[in-house]
């Protein structure tokens, strides 16, 4: 259905044209073949022929590649076209964890004891405040020990189950680091020796706040691997492989993380209900109570926004993938948006939140944003923008971009669309979950 050999042949050509001399930074992120090999188990032709002497090697290679691109796209909630679209390449370039996204470790790989020791190796390349580092790691372990029957004890000298260290480049474990950006860290599954150990890329600009990469956020994720957890495709999970840290967002385990760690270490006697507050669930697009923050068309797709997340509905594909807003666009695009809209003529996507707006062209933030919506010629009584720009509470206004003017008379929505409940959060065309509730045109409140 979705696979077209021609399209994949084209993909092949793109591959060769993308070949560049070895970039120093984030090597794997610049080599698509290597990215798919490393994170999605893709085996290029040469290696496969060695193994199977496949007479139909070329076609097989192309198919294999397309498959892996699709798997990757599904994982990150992109339309599974199998093509290396701009979006796909953008997601591939995002900083992330060094472990594979497709390996499943199974239930058997876990520690057989419940008190684990960890040790921090001397940090040679970086001279931070060690008390801050120690506090950061303690807090990251606490995330996990507060939802599962596990205890973590720090050791200063003696052997420990989990050794935490910083390395740059090739550090002799078969998974070299790649300089700034790209891969941030990796960890080993529970076991003896190197098992359970956690390595951070010493070339990154680590921080305790939102400059560079936040050590706490990455440690919380890697410690999950050290306990035996694989990557999760739930973008709300700490075990999601892409780095996402927002300064205003309290880092916590999601419902999925808690479920997964309790599945590994669950003890029927452990009262999982004592959690002080329930872990946050990633919004489910089919939840009848869900209301979107915003929605917009983007070329052929319809995009829906909620908190830090977005869904992408592509007309060619039945599934609607969920992803993080930050996995596609720069961190400067805020979460909890008020409205988003596409200006097809100017090829610009505009995001609204409060009295500010941002403009993106070709996935890149334009200079000088955010700006005040008063710059758009909005009358001062407009403090923020709801829904598809044209809606504000029970009124809608028409914004004329040519004139930078609002149609002066805000009209009551009900006059235009009788029976539409107000206020409107997002006005969109969406049919996947709701066909039997509504006709195709859906207005969410």
The verdict on 93 binding ligand NAG (CB under 6 A) reads: no
Closest CA to 147 of 27, 270, 64, 239: 270
DSSP 397: -
SS3 183: strand
How many Cα atoms occupy the beta-carbon half-sphere of 406 within 13 Å? 22
SS3 186: strand
Q: Quick one: 97 or 349, whose CB is closer to Zn ion? A: 97
Query: Residue 199 touches which of Zn ion, ligand NAG, Ca ion, none (CB < 5 to 8 A by kind)?
Result: Zn ion
Site for ligand NAG in 210-269 (CB under 6 A): 211
Mask for 75-114, x = binds Zn ion (CB under 5 A): ----------------------x-x---------------
In this structure, how many other beta carbons lie within 10 angstroms of the beta carbon of residue 331?
14
Tokens for 148, please give them: 């599962």
Which of 183, 187, 215, 261 binds Ca ion (CB under 5 A)? It is 183
428 contacts 295 by C-beta, under 8 angstroms = yes
Q: Quick one: 110 or 199, whose CB is closer to Zn ion? A: 199
Instruction: State the minimum distance, in angstroms, from the CB of residue 199 to Ca ion.
Output: 11
Q: Which helix (H) or strand (E) holds 92?
A: helix 86-93
The verdict on 209 binding ligand NAG (CB under 6 A) reads: yes
The verdict on 173 binding Zn ion (CB under 5 A) reads: yes
Query: Residue 22 touches which of Zn ion, Ca ion, ligand NAG, none (CB < 5 to 8 A by kind)?
Result: ligand NAG
Task: Report the DSSP pairing between strands 115-120 and 162-167.
Answer: parallel
Q: Quick one: 97 or 337, whose CB is closer to Zn ion? A: 97
Instruction: State the minimum distance, in angstroms, from the CB of residue 134 to ligand NAG.
Output: 4
The verdict on 115 binding ligand NAG (CB under 6 A) reads: no
Which of 27, 30, 199, 256 binds Zn ion (CB under 5 A)? It is 199
Active-site residue, selected from the candidate residues 107, 121, 222, 359: 222
The verdict on 20 binding ligand NAG (CB under 6 A) reads: yes
For residues 45 and 36, give the distance between their C-alpha atoms in angstroms, rounded to a whole number: 13
Tokens for 402, please give them: 């040519």
Q: Which residue is nearest to ligand NAG (CB)?
A: 131
Q: Which helix (H) or strand (E) holds 396?
A: strand 395-396
The backbone torsions φ and ψ at residue 9, rounded to the nearest 5 degrees and listed phi first, read -65, -40
Measuring CA to CA, how many Å separate 150 from each of 119, 145, 258, 412? 16, 5, 13, 57
Which listed range, 29-37, 285-293, 314-322, 388-396, lies at the site for ligand NAG (CB under 6 A)?
A: 29-37
How many Cα atoms occupy the beta-carbon half-sphere of 293 within 13 Å? 21
269 contacts 290 by C-beta, under 8 angstroms = no
Which of 120, 184, 217, 237 binds ligand NAG (CB under 6 A)? It is 120
For residues 94 and 76, give the distance between their C-alpha atoms in angstroms, rounded to a whole number: 11
Query: Residue 99 touches which of ligand NAG, Zn ion, Ca ion, none (CB < 5 to 8 A by kind)?
Result: Zn ion
DSSP 386: B
Which of 83, 178, 359, 386 binds Ca ion (CB under 5 A)? It is 178
User: Annotated binding site for Zn(2+), which residues?
Assistant: 97, 171, 173, 186, 199, 221, 225, 231, 239
The verdict on 373 binding Zn ion (CB under 5 A) reads: no
**Radius of gyration for the chain, computed over Cα atoms and rounded to the nearest angstrom:** 24
348 contacts 340 by C-beta, under 8 angstroms = no
Mask for 200-219, x = binds Ca ion (CB under 5 A): -x------------------
Tokens for 346, please give them: 């100017």
Closest CA to 231 of 443, 39, 428: 39
Which listed range, 76-84, 141-149, 179-187, 424-432, lies at the site for Ca ion (CB under 5 A)?
A: 179-187
Query: Residue 209 touches which of Zn ion, ligand NAG, Ca ion, none (CB < 5 to 8 A by kind)?
Result: ligand NAG
Query: Is 369 exposed, middle or buried (CB count within 10 Å of its CB: 0-12, 13-18, 19+)?
Result: middle
**Total binding residues for Zn ion by CB under 5 A?**
4
Q: CA triplet 36, 40, 42: central angle to 5 degrees?
A: 60
Q: Quick one: 183 or 303, whose CB is closer to Ca ion? A: 183
Q: Is 431 a catalytic residue?
A: no
The verdict on 175 binding ligand NAG (CB under 6 A) reads: no
CA dihedral 18, 21, 26, 29 (to 10 degrees): 20
Q: Quick one: 85 or 117, whose CB is closer to Ca ion? A: 117
Query: Residue 372 touches which of Ca ion, Zn ion, ligand NAG, none (CB < 5 to 8 A by kind)?
Result: ligand NAG
The verdict on 355 binding ligand NAG (CB under 6 A) reads: yes
Q: Quick one: 182 or 321, whose CB is closer to Ca ion? A: 182
Q: Which residues bind ligand NAG (CB under 6 A)?
A: 19-20, 22, 31, 33-34, 120, 130-131, 134, 156, 207-209, 211, 355, 372, 374, 380, 383
Q: Which residues bind Ca ion (CB under 5 A)?
A: 178, 182-183, 195-197, 201
> What residues are labeled active site?
222
């Amino acid at each position: 259905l979705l696979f077209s050999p021609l399209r994949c042949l084209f993909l092949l050509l793109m591959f060769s044209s993308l070949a560049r001399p070895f970039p120093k930074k984030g090597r794997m992120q610049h080599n698509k073949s290597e990215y798919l090999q490393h994170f999605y188990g893709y085996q290029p032709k040469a290696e496969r022929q060695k193994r199977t002497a496949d007479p139909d090697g070329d076609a097989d290679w192309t198919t294999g590649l397309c498959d892996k691109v699709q798997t990757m796209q599904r994982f990150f909630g992109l339309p599974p076209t199998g093509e290396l679209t701009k979006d796909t390449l953008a997601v591939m370039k995002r900083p992330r964890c060094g472990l594979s996204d497709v390996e499943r470790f199974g239930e058997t790989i876990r520690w057989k004891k419940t008190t684990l020791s960890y040790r921090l190796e001397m940090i040679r390349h970086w001279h931070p405040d060690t008390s801050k580092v120690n506090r950061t790691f303690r807090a990251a372990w606490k995330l996990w020990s507060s939802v599962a029957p596990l205890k973590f004890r720090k050791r200063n000298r003696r052997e420990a189950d989990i050794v935490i260290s910083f390395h740059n480049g090739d550090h002799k474990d078969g998974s070299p680091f790649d300089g700034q950006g790209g891969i941030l860290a990796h960890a080993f599954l529970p076991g003896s020796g190197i098992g359970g150990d956690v390595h951070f890329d010493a070339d990154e600009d680590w921080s305790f706040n939102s400059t560079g990469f936040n050590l706490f956020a990455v440690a919380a994720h890697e410690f999950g691997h050290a306990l035996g957890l694989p990557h999760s495709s739930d973008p709300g999970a700490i075990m999601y492989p892409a780095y996402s840290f927002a300064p205003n967002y309290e880092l916590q385990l999601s419902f999925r993380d808690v479920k997964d760690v309790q599945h590994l270490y669950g003890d029927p006697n452990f009262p999982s209900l004592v959690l002080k507050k329930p872990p946050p669930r990633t919004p489910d697009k089919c939840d009848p109570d869900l209301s979107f923050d915003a929605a917009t068309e983007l070329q052929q797709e319809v995009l829906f926004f909620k908190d830090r997340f977005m869904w992408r509905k592509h007309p060619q594909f039945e599934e609607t993938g969920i992803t993080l807003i930050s996995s596609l666009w720069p961190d400067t695009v805020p979460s909890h948006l008020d409205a988003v809209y596409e200006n097809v003529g100017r090829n610009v996507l505009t995001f609204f939140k409060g009295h500010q707006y941002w403009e993106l062209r070709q996935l890149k933030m334009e200079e000088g944003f955010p700006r005040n919506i008063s710059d758009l010629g909005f009358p001062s009584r407009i403090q923020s923008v709801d829904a598809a720009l044209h809606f504000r509470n029970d009124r809608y206004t028409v914004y004329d971009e040519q004139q930078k003017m609002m149609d002066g008379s805000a009209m009551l929505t009900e006059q235009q669309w009788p029976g539409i409940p107000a206020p409107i959060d997002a006005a969109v065309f969406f049919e996947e979950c709701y066909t039997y509730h509504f006709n195709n045109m859906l207005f969410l409140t």
